[in-house]
């Protein structure tokens, strides 16, 4: 029996009123935390999310402040009357697994520590969404399904995203939201504080001034995150006790193409990060200092028009760290400037900077 199957069985035992959903990947129960506050839940608003290679979490859609990771402490808090039924050995294995998959960021908390944000797993295959899916596929030359987009934290409809997460307060006008919904695709940031909205209109000047940027950062629930947590990072499975390869690029399509076309969608101990600028030094510091990853090799995928000072600056500032390895990768295919293209238009050239 897999770890997920064991945990599913454990939750069934602790919460006899459970309802399975999505083929057992989700379990719905009446929220015990709401009941404790005198707000009785009879419609199974608390969801347990059980996915292979993802940290199990719970989230109540009646009160979004009721959320967290599934472990022994939280299960005791949620089901104190049945705490004697908790399998201690299973909880130990869950804890060990959660440590290994630390960088699977699809369900991380946003900076306000209030919301676990979810992309609707049942994407409406409307004409708008299908056009956007086809655009993404054509950009990188890979036929991605709606599920692939969901797995990579890609949001086709900002309106659907806000509705699905019960977010009623918007940080832009209804007019701008409508434009973002029609002409942009979103990439949910690592800390779930920002939707990085990418303009899909070829001539962005065809849009009004309020939406004629290539990228627009939409702050979720009036968040104002300016931290590196607003990077777009493709969800991956990393054991931080082992060596990790960290791939850093400027654009969202660059990193998607690198992930699929150069790395064959290998999520195991690989981190793929789009930083939205050429400040690669800050990104390296973020992973080393904030995230505490020391045993890593960094691969920086540069645009061919990169400013001349950027790479020498990285070398000068990081060279005292004799343990760090940094490789530079560029696309030498004539006529191309970056990695955000199909595989047949990429000729990678790599050299070691440090």
Residue 2 contacts residue 52 (beta carbons within 8 Å): yes
The pLDDT assigned to 142 comes to 97
> CA 278, CA 68: separation in Å to the nearest integer?
34
Q: How far is CA 340 from the centre of its chain?
A: 19
Burial 40-62 (b: 16+ CB within 10 A, else e): ebeebbbbbbbbeebbbbbbbbb
The pLDDT assigned to 221 comes to 62
Pick the closest to residue 105 from 151, 73, 41 (CA basis): 151
Question: From edge to edge, which strands make up the β-sheet containing 57-60?
Answer: 19-21, 26-29, 46-49, 57-60, 67-69
Work out the burial of residue 328: count CB atoms within 10 Å of its CB; fewer than 13 is exposed, 13-18 middle, 19 or more buried: buried
- pTM of the full structure: 0.73
Bridge pairing between strands 296-301 and 325-331: parallel
Q: Where are the domains of the chain?
A: 3-101, 127-230, 236-352
Please give the CATH number for the structural domain made up of 236-352: 3.40.1360
Please give the structure tokens belonging to residue 251. Answer: 């654009």
Q: What is the pLDDT along the chain (354 residues), one digit of tens a residue?
A: 788 899 999 999 999 999 998 777 889 999 999 999 888 888 898 889 887 767 788 888 777 678 778 888 889 999 999 989 999 999 988 887 776 655 554 444 444 444 456 665 556 667 888 999 999 999 999 999 988 998 899 999 999 888 887 788 888 999 999 999 999 999 998 888 899 999 999 776 788 998 989 999 999 865 545 556 689 999 888 877 789 999 999 999 999 999 999 999 999 999 999 999 999 999 999 888 887 788 899 999 999 999 999 999 999 999 888 888 999 999 999 999 999 999 999 999 999 999
> CA 197, CA 248: separation in Å to the nearest integer?
19
> CA 25, CA 36: separation in Å to the nearest integer?
26
What is the signed CA dihedral for 47, 51, 56, 61, rounded to 10 degrees?
-20
The helices-and-strands tally (H runs, E runs) of the chain is 11, 15
The pLDDT assigned to 234 comes to 93
């Amino acid at each position: 029996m897999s770890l997920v199957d064991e945990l599913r069985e454990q939750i069934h035992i602790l919460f006899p009123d459970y309802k399975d959903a999505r083929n057992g990947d989700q379990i719905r129960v009446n929220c015990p935390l709401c009941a404790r506050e005198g707000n009785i839940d009879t419609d199974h608003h608390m969801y347990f999310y059980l996915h292979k290679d993802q940290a199990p979490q719970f989230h109540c859609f009646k009160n979004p402040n009721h959320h967290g990771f599934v472990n022994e402490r939280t299960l005791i808090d949620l089901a104190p009357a049945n705490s004697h039924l908790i399998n201690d050995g299973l909880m130990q294995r869950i804890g060990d697994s959660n440590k290994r998959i630390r960088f699977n960021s699809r369900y991380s908390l946003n900076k306000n520590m209030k919301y676990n944000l979810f992309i609707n797993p049942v994407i409406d295959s409307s004409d708008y969404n299908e056009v956007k899916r086809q655009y993404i596929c054509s950009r990188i030359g890979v036929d991605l399904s709606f599920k692939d987009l969901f797995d990579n934290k890609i949001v086709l409809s900002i309106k659907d995203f806000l509705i699905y997460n019960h977010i009623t307060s918007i940080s832009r006008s209804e007019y701008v939201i409508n434009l973002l919904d029609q002409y942009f695709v979103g990439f949910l940031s690592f800390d779930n504080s920002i939707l990085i909205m990418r303009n899909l209109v070829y001539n962005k000047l065809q849009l009004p001034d309020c939406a004629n940027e290539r990228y627009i950062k939409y702050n979720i629930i009036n968040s104002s995150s300016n931290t590196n947590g607003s990077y777009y990072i493709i969800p991956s499975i990393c054991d931080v006790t082992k060596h990790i390869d960290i791939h850093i690029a400027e654009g969202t399509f660059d990193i998607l193409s690198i992930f699929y076309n150069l790395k064959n969608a290998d999520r195991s101990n690989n981190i793929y990060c789009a930083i939205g600028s050429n400040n690669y030094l800050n990104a390296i510091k973020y992973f080393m200092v904030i995230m505490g990853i020391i045993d890593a090799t960094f691969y920086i995928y540069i645009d061919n028009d990169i400013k001349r000072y950027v790479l020498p600056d990285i070398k000068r500032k990081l060279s005292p760290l004799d343990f760090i390895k940094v490789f530079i990768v560029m696309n030498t295919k004539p006529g191309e400037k970056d990695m955000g293209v199909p595989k047949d238009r990429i000729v990678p050239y790599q050299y070691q900077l440090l």
